[in-house]
Amino acid sequence: MGFIIQYNRFFSVTMVENGPDSPINDFRFFAVSDTLRTLRNHNLLFRASNSGFEVYYCSTPLIPITGLVRFTIGFRYSNSSLYEKYGLTSSDSSDPLLYEPALCFDNLTADGSIITEQGASLAASGSDHGEHVSAEDTGHIYSQTFTLVERADETVPENYILKPRYKSGPEQTIPVNNAEGANTVQTIINSVDLDDDYINETGPYTLKTSSPESARNVYLHNELAGRSARGVVDIYWETTQDSVAEDTGQQYYITFKPK
> Mean pLDDT in the chain?
89
What's the pLDDT tens digit per position in 43-64? 999 999 999 999 999 988 899 9
Q: Cβ(103)–Cβ(226) under 8 Å? A: no
pLDDT range class, residue 131, cuts 50, 70, 90:
very high
For the cut 60, the answer to whether the pLDDT of residue 145 exceeds it is yes
pTM beyond cutoff 0.75: yes
CA distance 221 to 131: 27
Predicted pLDDT of residue 45:
97
Please state the φ and ψ torsions of residue 39, each to the nearest 5 degrees: -60, -45
Beta-carbon-side half-sphere exposure of residue 15 (alpha carbons within 13 Å): 25
CA distance 108 to 88: 21
Q: Which residue has the higher pLDDT, 69 or 135?
A: 69
Q: Cβ(108)–Cβ(235) under 8 Å? A: no
Q: Cβ(214)–Cβ(194) under 8 Å? A: no
Cα-Cα-Cα-Cα dihedral sign, residues 54, 59, 61, 64: positive
Could you write out the DSSP letters of every residue in 113-160? Answer: PBP--TTEE-STT-SSTT----GGGEEEEE-SSEEEEEETTS---SEE
What's the pLDDT tens digit per position in 75-105? 999 887 888 899 887 555 445 444 558 999 9
| Cis-peptide, bond into residue 212, ω within 30° of zero | yes
Beta-carbon-side half-sphere exposure of residue 59 (alpha carbons within 13 Å): 11
Predicted pLDDT of residue 90:
56
Query: Which of 11-20, 148-157, 171-180 has the highest mean predicted lDDT (pLDDT)?
Result: 11-20
Q: Considering only CA atoms, which of 58, 54, 231 is closest in space to residue 140?
A: 231
